[in-house]
Amino acid sequence: MALKIGQKSPDFTLPSTSGEKFTLSIHAAGKPCVIYFYPKDFTKVCTAEACDFRDQFSAFRDLDVPVVGISRDTITTHLKFKKENNLPFELLSDGTGNVCKLYDALIPLVKMPKRVTYFLDSNHVIRGAYSDMFESKKHVDEMIKLLKK
């Protein structure tokens, strides 16, 4: 279950593939934002999802909507994943799983991130959420629908 539509998104700070820490309230201040949580780099569905965001990235970039992917993988692994798949957006490392938990994106027993995507408005209120562990393309499609509204 994702966080509720209309709820203010929790602020967070995580290490980023940019080499700096990413803080939602600073790095996406005053901008809508897409945050997607995913289980693991280099797995089939996670790679497909990242590549779908890459292939549709111009729709987000043209409207100045940052996209960030979050998993529990290390920055070292994220950097390899980002390079191998030519990803134009940042990946964030939530090694402790605390941010995943804040966003109700953590499977309790196995402590693995769920596949859930959030669309935040410019005040970082959740305006859309999509959750499906086994379908990747629909995450991107749902966010693009929200962009067009």
Which of 33, 46, 51, 100 is an active site residue?
A: 46
- The CA distance from 50 to 36, in Å, is 9
Which secondary structure element, helix H or strand E, spans residue 44, and what is its range? helix 44-55
Tokens of 140: 């991107």
Instruction: Using the structure block, give the residue that is written with the tokens 């940019």.
Output: 18
Say if residues 42 and 81 touch (Cβ distance below 8 Å).
Answer: yes
Catalytic site residue 51? no
Residues known to be catalytic:
46
